Structure 1
Amino acid sequence: MIAIVSAADAGEHRRAADLAAELETEVATERGHDTPAVLQVRQVRAHVARLSGEQAEAAGLYRAVALELLRVHGAEHDETLQAAANAEACWRAIEDDPTARRVGRDIVDMRRSVPGEDGRRLRAAERYQARLTGALPTPALPSAPDLAPGPDDLSVYSDPAPEREPQPEPTPPTPTTVSPTPDDATSGEDEVSTSAFRKPAPEDG
């Protein structure tokens, strides 16, 4: 873990990702593939992937963690909700629309099992995926409350990327800034948690 944190701090995200993958394999061999320790390391892998710009990979890793926590703890458990929120937040940060549409199918499917309070997060994910696929037009609001998470709620290594609205196809549009609706913005429980990526305390002496 010290080596992973050091590599991430130095911006060596590929090396950090490789070390995290090796650690997950070692822990799984020693303790079993579905143990809490493995899930913690998998979240570290997702965190490093997010830092390196591999949002699709990060979303998939967080989704896998969320589904395992769903099986163990249920849909209302805090850890399940946070892992699901992390997966959705990384999905929304994907800049390539075809990739976002592909990943979105899995995220919406996950949200059907972890819908959030009153099903709000499921509905928001379905609307976002519908806009990605062109089934729902992108709203253009003159103003909307800024619900994006602050840097203290995300990674200590990088600032969060602003939420991007999908662009229609096939004609490449002129880039515009569109304010999201409150239900579609990542906020509150959707802020990416880095609790699994704490720096180990130095040993005494």
Structure 2
Amino acid sequence: MELLVFGAGGRVGQRLCGCAVSDGHGVTAFVRDAARAPDGVSVVEGDVTDPGAVADAVGGHDAVCSALGPTDGTDLALFDTGIENLVAAMEASGVERLVAVAAAGILQATPGRLRLDMAGFPETERPLAAAHRAVYDRLRESALDWTLVCPPRMPDGPPTNHYRIAVDYLPEGGQSVSTGDVARLVYEAAVDGRHRRERVGIAY
């Protein structure tokens, strides 16, 4: 299988690429700085806000994974622009499968309300969650075969393979999950085709 990974230089992206490479899949890492690309992958240097660069990268892949996340000073508007570019490129090239990491704030708190819309939702987390809600809304409008993997706090660490998942909700009492376990679920969903057009909460 040929996978294209956006955000491949980040904490989740590095581990995601490692999972795919170790299982014998072809991986193309789309990164802003080629020096941050993991070992064993093909590298495309570019920016997800550049529609031409995204369109050039998508073709020829079986699935796209996005582990894009904010760094200090990141303009969260990149998520709006990035998802528009990804959807356009994938629909134009016929690549249907997209698995992306998103904030747990876009999961349901109740059947009628998202976690980020609840009064007690942390204000510091609200901007990122709102940016990911825009991604979720755009994907629901698209024809893509998407999955959003939604963790709470993500300490860096290897996969344990002992996490819990829940469709549309965060597993009850879940507070954190390692970057390795998030990467593993993204990878497995991309390869196995599970959780089609669903949000998946993941936590210990």
Length-normalised TM-score, structure 2: 0.31
Q: Which one has a larger percent strand, Structure 1 or Structure 2? A: 2
Q: Which one has a larger percent helix, Structure 1 or Structure 2? A: 1
